[in-house]
Structure 1
């Protein structure tokens, strides 16, 4: 992460710290969700391997009950995971939007003369929503992916180091794919948001200046212009969808290749008696659990790139300062006396409009 990215993400630090209790409980819930979820394949392994012995119906019922309990507990913690992390992201969205609006009230007229109202509206709505998705679902799925990988891989190595190494051969390709597509998504999403701002600004200007539009009989011209802007917006969205649409099929392809290799070589090991059937089933279960986190990682990268692009756009407004601002510690006093204006000049941007007043 470069210095520019860190400075942008630093904007979220006070909001994250404000709800640190929710984040802590959320991460605990994520860990417990994954722990009980990863317990199921191991219990299934024990149940299948016990079939070779003189297992009774009671023993099988105990294994089934243990799997059911682990599933229920995992689901309960999954609920708490969403009720903490997603709720925290909603609270951050609420606070961030309020602070953004408060900052807008401090800016003076010259700023609003240069910045279209529709552009500000777009940043205050869709861009803040993109930041919320990065902070909420993004962090939640990223933490779940990291914990799943950290816990599933040692269990897979315990079952079969050879099959684990074999199944991981496609991971470098997936990593490179994620990095490449992540950069492309950020570039194209920024262009999409810019065009969305243009559309919003055009609509707002037409609504506020509808009398002028009608007075000069420009209705059809404005309709055509709005239609052209929307076509550009659609093309930019389609451009990103073409890139984004490649990701999940590619993940499924490489995941399928890994699964085929595991089934082929693992099946041979079961046939030769060097691996038990229960271990084989558990290994495939863990592998399938890893395929979704890898696909989810791509989705999370997309959320991060979109959120970062939106945060950059929001920072442009948050960094703006009024031309005339009170000094720190300025005191408000009642003015007594007369005001005399002499030799007054007024300029709009760089053009001098009035002078010698």
Structure 2
């Protein structure tokens, strides 16, 4: 139960739902216990009056006794029905408070988990797969809801009913009550041992379900690759194996429960037999009436449902504990990147790297080694280098997706770590190497970085990204809905929509991370010309592989193996006859051979 202590804050928040709920539980159970006493009196009435009725055989008064007898039974029957109607009414109120409270807690938990996910740094998402993250925010939260709603409701209901029934039993006859409740300690021992098994198997089920969800999510995202390589059958076999693992774990839990429930019902049945046997002896000795035996049998049957539900409630609690443990593992994580500064200045765009080194914590790959350079505000700077030289890492550090291991990064002479992170990123336009578009309209994808935007601004951004003509050729133009990850568009169109999303912000710093690779040379030139106009006086950083893309940059940084080996203008670097010149000559040869 220690993992479930996290939920105490929600119980306190919704205390005015829980308190009335407990009150309704108590009242409903009082109206559930009283009918047993009424039935006991009715049973005594029947046994007593049958003998009297037989004595008046052949007399006229027998009809009067019969009528009184009938009216009395009708009265008791009506009273029992009325009491059960009242109980049903308060059971309705009980569910309307406790079950509705569980839905509110479910809503709050999902929001809290999602908000916490948003705060966690990029490294967290590199370490965890999407399917597992989704499963903790959906399936695990649903299990928590089953605990804070049905499990707690039935647990309170069972506890209150036990107290009322046991009190009623002992007030009638202590000896009969003891024998009637004799199987309960055995039941407690069984629950104790079964709880551990249920907990272990529940955790195994949750882990397997996360693996299954991750597998399905990943395969659906890569369905184009699967079909291209004709691997449908192979993925089907893997899915079947994962499903088999989940099924085996679930069946193992079901076997425990299948043995648990009949055992409890057997013990309740034993209580009924003891009640009749011991109670019969008490009636013979005159200690109790036959109606008391009927009353006790009703009590035992009233305990049957709560006792049988006890196993189900135990399962819910154990599964909720396992799920809450998984949720707490993430909620207790603190973001690697944080900011406490509340100032919101407008940045100019001067960037300085001083002896910056960075190693990816998950892989141990040293991406940058003592990198130093200056970018003046308003400069157009290009970064080029071979694959794996650290170009994208530079972009991530400027965006402060990661913090450097050593050295210092400053923005406008202020240390990057000390800036208001949200305000800083709001003034940056970033076009990643791997384009991601949402399953939404083209308009909403372009306007994603802004809260309010006009149609004219969206159109202007699309024109600057050289994608306007493509969009208006669609039937629904800017309202065209995109499939998952923008699958509706071609690679070049997706890149240009992503560029438009960055340009519409009118950022102070614009970072292009090799995002022009899927567009032709003519379109690339149009975009760069528009970029020169839109970003005039603002800092632009362009990461590219093609030298033709970056030759007009104010400064070019050449990266190799995590170090800046050359920097300067296009002409200066050609004169230096170093790595840049070699790359330039190789690309010229490739272009000539392709003609």
In the superposition, the TM-score normalised over structure 2's length comes to 0.57
- Is residue 2:15 matched to residue 1:20? yes
Of 186, 194, 199, the match for 2:199: 186
Of 233, 238, 257, the match for 1:244: 257
Deviates more, 1:259-268 or 1:336-345: 336-345
Q: Supply the distance in 2 between the matched residues of 1:181 and 1:56 (Cα, whole angstroms).
A: 51
Return structure 1 stretches of 4+ with deviation > 4 angstroms. Answer: 53-56
Q: Counterparts in 2 of 1:305-316, with a 5 A limit? A: 305-316=318-329
Q: Counterparts in 2 of 1:217-232, with a 5 A limit? A: 217-232=230-245
Of 321, 331, 355, the match for 2:343: 331
Deviates more, 1:342-351 or 1:205-214: 342-351
Q: Equivalent residue for 1:41?
A: 36
Deviates more, 1:329-338 or 1:308-317: 329-338
Give the CA deviation at 1:45: 1.2
Deviates more, 1:342-351 or 1:41-50: 342-351
Structure with the higher fraction of residues in strand conformation: 2
Of 71, 77, 88, the match for 2:101: 88
Give the CA deviation at 1:333: 2.4
Give the CA deviation at 1:321: 2.0
Structure with the higher fraction of residues in helix conformation: 1
Q: Counterparts in 2 of 1:201-220, with a 5 A limit? A: 201-220=214-233
What CA deviation, in whole Å up to 9, does each residue of 1:33-85 have, x standing for no partner?
Answer: 10001000101112222342675443333222221211110010011111110
Give the 3-state SS of the residue equivalent to 2:366 in structure 1: strand
Q: Supply the distance in 1 between the matched residues of 2:256 and 2:70 (Cα, whole angstroms).
A: 53
What CA deviation, in whole Å up to 9, does each residue of 1:231-251 have, x standing for no partner?
Answer: 111001111111111111000
Give the CA deviation at 1:337: 5.2
Change (3 A) 1:126 1:337: closer
Deviates more, 1:227-236 or 1:270-279: 270-279
Q: Equivalent residue for 2:530?
A: none
In the superposition, the TM-score normalised over structure 1's length comes to 0.93
Q: Equivalent residue for 1:73?
A: 86
CA contact 2:257–2:311 (8 Å) conserved in 1 = no
Q: What runs of 5+ residues in structure 2 fail to find an aligned partner?
A: 50-64, 368-389, 391-561, 565-595
Q: Equivalent residue for 2:376?
A: none
Of 54, 57, 75, the match for 1:62: 75
Q: Equivalent residue for 1:196?
A: 209
Give the 3-state SS of the residue equivalent to 2:359 in structure 1: strand
Q: Equivalent residue for 1:11?
A: 6
Q: Supply the distance in 2 between the matched residues of 1:218 and 1:189 (Cα, whole angstroms).
A: 33
- Is residue 2:359 matched to residue 1:347? yes
Give the CA deviation at 1:192: 0.4
What CA deviation, in whole Å up to 9, does each residue of 1:196-251 have, x standing for no partner?
Answer: 00010011111112233334443322211111100111001111111111111000
Q: Quote the RMSD (CA, aligned, Å).
A: 1.7
Q: Equivalent residue for 1:297?
A: 310
Q: What runs of 5+ residues in structure 1 fail to find an aligned partner?
A: none
Q: Counterparts in 2 of 1:108-187, with a 5 A limit? A: 108-187=121-200
CA contact 2:140–2:323 (8 Å) conserved in 1 = yes
Q: Supply the distance in 1 between the matched residues of 2:151 and 2:257 (Cα, whole angstroms).
A: 16
Q: Supply the distance in 2 between the matched residues of 1:337 and 1:256 (Cα, whole angstroms).
A: 80
Q: Supply the distance in 2 between the matched residues of 1:288 and 1:57 (Cα, whole angstroms).
A: 26
What CA deviation, in whole Å up to 9, does each residue of 1:58-113 have, x standing for no partner?
Answer: 33332222212111100100111111100010111011111111111111211111
Give the 3-state SS of the residue equivalent to 1:345 in structure 2: strand
Say how many residue pairs are matched: 351
Give the 3-state SS of the residue equivalent to 2:278 in structure 1: helix
CA contact 1:31–1:144 (8 Å) conserved in 2 = yes
